[in-house]
Structure 1
Amino acid sequence: MTSPLEPSPEPIHVTRPHLPPLADVVKLLEGVWERRILTNGGPLHEQLEAELAGYLGVEHVSLFANGTLALLVALKALRLQGEVITSPFSFIATSEALSWNGIEPVFADIQPRSFSLDPASIEARITPRTSAILAVHCYGFPCDVESIQRLADDYNLRVIYDAAHAFAVDCHCGSLLQHGDLSILSFHATKVFNTFEGGAIISPDAKTKKRIDRLKNFGFVDELTVAVNGINAKMSELHAAVGLAQLPGIEAAIDRRRAVAEGYQRHLAGIEHLHLPDFNQAARPNYAYFPVRVDDASPISRDGLVDHLRSHGIITRRYFHPLIPEFQYYRSNASADPALYPEAVRAARQVLCLPIYPDLALESVEHISGLIRQPLSDRNDG
């Protein structure tokens, strides 16, 4: 095994796309070439929607070209206006989808354990202009869905979940995707389940799915009728083929992710100032990310640890730094005040996501863990 002090022969990145057997994709594509149906809800598209619904334990899945388009259409489908309360600790697309729909993001704070919206902070941000809550199942850890729903019921708000990280995650009552008015998935190359690029909306009923399916296809009802102001957000047969080839192996891929996560838990246990993720927050986690926190009393900062690991060929990511309100476009937002979300500020300063993907060797996990332990232990001993 490589010594903890030696650089890795090749860089190890925070993630690596999981690919299905190429022969399985080619077999599906042969049918595409024979039928010459490339998009517009072709047979592979319809098959993937059905198979995903069965696997995920939901009834209505609408496939999209990517997760951001899915989120844009979800907001449009619910006819949202005014303000929507959301998280500052997320990928920028969460807030961009609101802005593109002419909706003002209102940033609330997060909970330190789940990194998801704090219901008390949500309630403090509600105004007469609030129309919805856009919460994020950050790293695949479930939001406090019951408290969020109580707030929505009390204030007559809609709830959308950005579940880009939460593919196949179960909570206390089954699929996490069943909560809220709509849940949005991403099938980007870096996600647990990918179609190279892709996404989906989980709808609660057939009527909502029909509206969403029209919105993603220019608003067409039939060849002569456009009922709503739509967009082109459809998934192609090529991407659906990748998804269909991926799905049979997804359980094994999640199992391998779990083995990597358990390896980190073993090798990193007991390091002072390093706080490990709690995967027990989900009844069935998917191990999409492995976020650790380097607390402020640590002898090496989070950013110092990033640089230390990079110098040894380990490429980690500071998800999510900077916070969304720190980007120039959002600095003038009325809620872009760090005093309103101190936990998010702390997380953005402390969190580091370590490499995790199905074919990451357990020897590499041990190597990375040694590289993390070394500067912390040396400086603590000194």
Structure 2
Amino acid sequence: MKHPYYRPSALNQAKLIQYLEDINERRYFTNNGPLVGELKERLEAYLGVKNLLLVSSGTVALQVAYKALGVSGNIITTPLSFVATASAYKWLNKELCFSDIDLETLNLDPAHVTDVVALNANDLVVATHLYGNPCDIDSFKRLSLRFKNKTIYDASHAFATRYGGKCVLSEGDASVISFHATKLFHTIEGGGIVFASHEDYQRAEKMINFGFDHQGQVIEIGINAKMSEFHAAVGLTMLDDIESMIDQRCEMVEHYLTCLAPYDVEFPKRQEGTDRCSPSYMPLILNSVKERDCLHKMLFEEGIETRKYFEGLINNLAAYSNQPLCLPNAEVVENRLLCLPFYVDLDSADISYICERVVAALDEIRSKA
């Protein structure tokens, strides 16, 4: 494949080897070791957040955040996200309520949440910052103030994205993030939770270590969701270069937009109040399912891999579908999304070429329509 859809960022081998040698010399491989502590401190400083808990994956981060917040009512979430946003809770045998999206940003629309349930203090809203574009955070705050419900943001696409002058990870009762290898910042496998409340952080800290407190007594029902020293070493290696990587990705997005702007190509609208995105994807909104599928096929035949991300709404998947839903905005964009190649090794010439082929393919498709 001449232009794959994605390639994880390469690691600085010299730095990583030094970290691994130090780990081996200490023989301290897991159980909240010094590198996990160092990564936590450095990430908190870089992102400007407090109460960051490092865990073994973004999916378990969603589950631990839910448990730590102590909610017991409805879980209202978006139908347009990676399946883990929903599967984390179905795995816990929790029923989900799917609410409609904003047709411009494609994020969960706070105006539609109360169409699904009568919110109260026991309910939880789980909203994804889709493609790294922040949700309408101010409106979700007003919703929580009015109904006293809790909010978790799935910020797995939005590492270091800033909204209203601060990192989006500082928003909500908890914000969770994935550090999977496909993400901008990664630890190969891993994740994190930022809690608004230090008490919730302390409760979750015990939960991810079998429920043990600092005296070795089991005082919570817990699991093993700790990050290892090896994964933290990867994160520390990545963090040294993260700012230049974000700058490069922002330039890549602008290059894509510049090349495609003169043509009839639609993109999700950036949320007002966004200071800076840390882009994770380059999504297009095509005119129809047929146009999306044809473009995907034609580009693949020319050595350009794209991803139907996301294909289908979560609420329509067999494992989640238990009743007919009317989500008109989500249904408008369902199966019309296509993400173009987006990774650190793409240069401006690559992007120009990809855009040329996108435009040529769309011209051909639309001329036959």
Shift of 1:148: 1.0
1:76 to 67, 72, 80: 67
Show CA shifts across 1:245-265 (max 9, x none): 100100111111122112211
Shift of the 57–107 alpha-carbon distance from structure 1 to 2, 3 Å rule, reads same
Identity %: 38
Shift of 1:380: 5.0
Partner residue, 2:30: 39
Shift of 1:284: 0.7
Residues 65 and 235 in structure 1, CA contact (< 8 A), matched pair in contact too: yes
Partner residue, 1:116: 107
Shift of the 203–379 alpha-carbon distance from structure 1 to 2, 3 Å rule, reads closer
Shift of 1:62: 0.5
Partner residue, 1:245: 237
Show CA shifts across 1:155-179 (max 9, x none): 1210110111110000013111111
Show CA shifts across 1:126-154 (max 9, x none): 23676110111111111111111211221
Q: Tell me the distance in 2 between the aligned counterparts of 1:116 and 1:27.
A: 41
2:317 is aligned with 1:331: no
Shift of 1:279: 4.6
Residues 75 and 101 in structure 1, CA contact (< 8 A), matched pair in contact too: no
Shift of 1:271: 1.3
Shift of 1:369: 0.7
Partner residue, 1:100: 91
Residues 64 and 70 in structure 1, CA contact (< 8 A), matched pair in contact too: yes
2:314 is aligned with 1:311: no
Which residue identity does 1:287 align to in structure 2?
A: P
Give the number of aligned pairs.
Answer: 366
2:280 is aligned with 1:321: no
How does 1:171-250 map onto structure 2 within 5 Å? 171-222=163-214, 224-250=216-242
Q: Tell me the distance in 2 between the aligned counterparts of 1:101 and 1:235.
A: 21
2:329 is aligned with 1:343: yes
2:347 is aligned with 1:361: yes
Shift of 1:123: 1.5
Partner residue, 1:163: 155
Shift of 1:28: 0.8
Matched residue SS, 1:220: coil
Residues 82 and 310 in structure 2, CA contact (< 8 A), matched pair in contact too: yes
Q: Tell me the distance in 1 between the aligned counterparts of 2:142 and 2:70.
A: 21
Shift of 1:276: 2.8
Q: Tell me the distance in 2 between the aligned counterparts of 1:104 and 1:173.
A: 35
Shift of the 380–98 alpha-carbon distance from structure 1 to 2, 3 Å rule, reads closer
Q: Tell me the distance in 1 between the aligned counterparts of 2:223 and 2:255.
A: 45
Residues 158 and 181 in structure 1, CA contact (< 8 A), matched pair in contact too: yes
Q: Tell me the distance in 1 between the aligned counterparts of 2:251 and 2:10.
A: 18
Shift of 1:206: 2.6
Q: Tell me the distance in 1 between the aligned counterparts of 2:203 and 2:366.
A: 59
Shift of the 380–107 alpha-carbon distance from structure 1 to 2, 3 Å rule, reads closer
Which residue identity does 2:346 align to in structure 1?
A: L
Residues 173 and 197 in structure 2, CA contact (< 8 A), matched pair in contact too: no
Residues 81 and 102 in structure 1, CA contact (< 8 A), matched pair in contact too: no
Which residue identity does 1:216 align to in structure 2?
A: I
Which residue identity does 2:160 align to in structure 1?
A: A
How does 1:287-306 map onto structure 2 within 5 Å? 287-296=279-288, 301-306=291-296
Residues 279 and 287 in structure 1, CA contact (< 8 A), matched pair in contact too: no
Q: Tell me the distance in 2 between the aligned counterparts of 1:167 and 1:254.
A: 9
Partner residue, 1:7: none
Q: Tell me the distance in 2 between the aligned counterparts of 1:314 and 1:188.
A: 23
Shift of 1:186: 0.4
Which residue identity does 1:260 align to in structure 2?
A: M
Partner residue, 2:4: 13
Q: Tell me the distance in 2 between the aligned counterparts of 1:349 and 1:86.
A: 19
TM-score by length of 2: 0.95
Residues 3 and 303 in structure 2, CA contact (< 8 A), matched pair in contact too: yes
Q: Tell me the distance in 1 between the aligned counterparts of 2:339 and 2:224.
A: 34
Show CA shifts across 1:202-248 (max 9, x none): 01233221111111111001464111110100000000000001001
Partner residue, 1:371: 357
Any unmatched runs of 5+ in structure 2? none
Q: Quote the RMSD (CA, aligned, Å).
A: 1.7
Q: Tell me the distance in 2 between the aligned counterparts of 1:107 and 1:25.
A: 42
- Which stretch shows the higher mean deviation, 101-110 or 124-133? 124-133
Which residue identity does 2:50 align to in structure 1?
A: E
Shift of the 142–128 alpha-carbon distance from structure 1 to 2, 3 Å rule, reads closer
Shift of 1:357: 1.2
Q: Tell me the distance in 1 between the aligned counterparts of 2:367 and 2:84.
A: 43
Residues 263 and 362 in structure 1, CA contact (< 8 A), matched pair in contact too: yes
Which residue identity does 2:19 align to in structure 1?
A: L
- Which stretch shows the higher mean deviation, 362-371 or 220-229? 220-229
Q: Tell me the distance in 1 between the aligned counterparts of 2:129 and 2:27.
A: 38
